Amino acid sequence: MDYTTGEASETGAVKGPRRDRTRSRSASWLAWGLWLLVVLVWGLVIAFLLANEGLTTRELTVAVALWVPFLAFATVGAVILARRPGNRIGWLCWAIGFAFTVSLWGSKQVWVVLADQGRSSAWALLPQLGILAFLGTLLGLLPFLVLVFPTGQLLSRRWRPVAWTLGLVLGLYLTAGLLTPGPVPLGLPDNPGNPLGVEAAEGLLRLVQTMAGVAAPVLALAALASVVVRFRSARGEERQQLKWFTFVVAAELVLLPGLGSVAEQVAPEVGVLVVFPASISLIPLAIGLAVLRYRLYDIDRIINRTLVYGYARARLPGCLAGQITPAAGCKTGKAGGSRPGGAMTGAAHTRRGPVAR
């Protein structure tokens, strides 16, 4: 019975839960099918790399390691889409992983294999598309992801011109790059020519590419500015989601240069094969945790402990220089001295709100 109209309900109305389960199962198949597509494209690239006899084992290992962070993007995108099929953040994460995988076709090692097999110059379109896929990911998909994170919507209507301009600039840049005549920049002594190059419009195409190349970084900075504006006005769960993203990105900017330099001095291979892939993979992981709201309020505890340990580490050399032991003097303090241990204790007990629960 429909109590709003007084009419009898349709007999088919009880089939909603079954229809929902079918829709959920279809979304899961679609999401993981898209993830499998990324893996298959990458497998084809690896097959080409293995066919290159001049490729060393180290170069192959580096190629695999550099792909791992973007497999993380595709995996997080698939997980989000399996649970929430219409989520734009999930689609953008998957698109970033897929586009970067396609960009691997723009490597010089792949073209060396094609050239050795006597392929025609038309095959140079493959590395050209790979290069454009990389640029599209860097200048388009990543800024769009930042612009709509974490809700999948723009902050307000005022940001629509930024999104439309970013899409227009990206389209002009990629189109001009696809049609500009000249050699494909693969870093080889004899680079193949662009098979789609239009000689008659070379001047105009290079002008468009230059102007779009200047505007794209400016729009990317505008996308980063939207995160700051969104964070200041966000409340509740949205603010916690932004904390996950901003904390991981800030940690990357602070720690990655230092870890990279240390790894380069101690073990250069560790920096390329472990530090870089692992650190970049934290970004899609943070996005997935934020969007799916898994342990959302734990970020407050993580930030708190990071600040406490960072403060203690910064004060420790001063304590040692003053011949005060961290266990005794630094905690109890002296006349006119500092109390890092007390600061640690006080900071550790300032957790309030959802974290305390």
331 pLDDT higher than 60: no
Residues 6 or more apart whose CB falls under 8 angstroms from that of 28 comprise 82
Confidence bin at 17 (pLDDT 50/70/90): low
User: 187: which DSSP letter?
Assistant: S
Whether the bond into 284 is cis, omega within 30 of 0: no
- Which tokens in the block code for residue 329? 């003097």
Cα dihedral across residues 169, 172, 175, 179: positive or negative: negative
What pLDDT does 110 receive? 79
Using CA atoms, how far apart are residues 20 and 29, in angstroms rounded to an integer?
Answer: 14
pLDDT tens-digit profile of 243-259?
Answer: 888 888 777 777 766 66
The tokens describing 122, both together, are 């038309």
Tell me the C-alpha distance between 145 and 138, whole Å.
Answer: 11
Q: Is the pLDDT of residue 75 over 90?
A: yes
Spell out the domain ranges in the chain: 20-298, 299-357
Taking only the tens place, the pLDDT of each residue in 292-314 is 876 655 555 666 656 555 556 55
What is the pLDDT averaged over residues 184-188?
Answer: 78
Give the residue-averaged pLDDT of 135-141.
90
Contacts of 310 (CB under 8 A, 6+ apart): none
Mean pLDDT of 170-175: 93
Strand, coil or helix: 2: strand
User: At residue 159, what are phi and psi to the nearest 5 degrees?
Assistant: -90, 0
- Cα 272 to chain centroid distance, Å, stands at 18
Instruction: Kindly report the pTM of this predicted structure.
Output: 0.74
Alpha helices in 84-201, H assignment, sequence order? 88-103, 108-116, 125-136, 142-148, 160-179
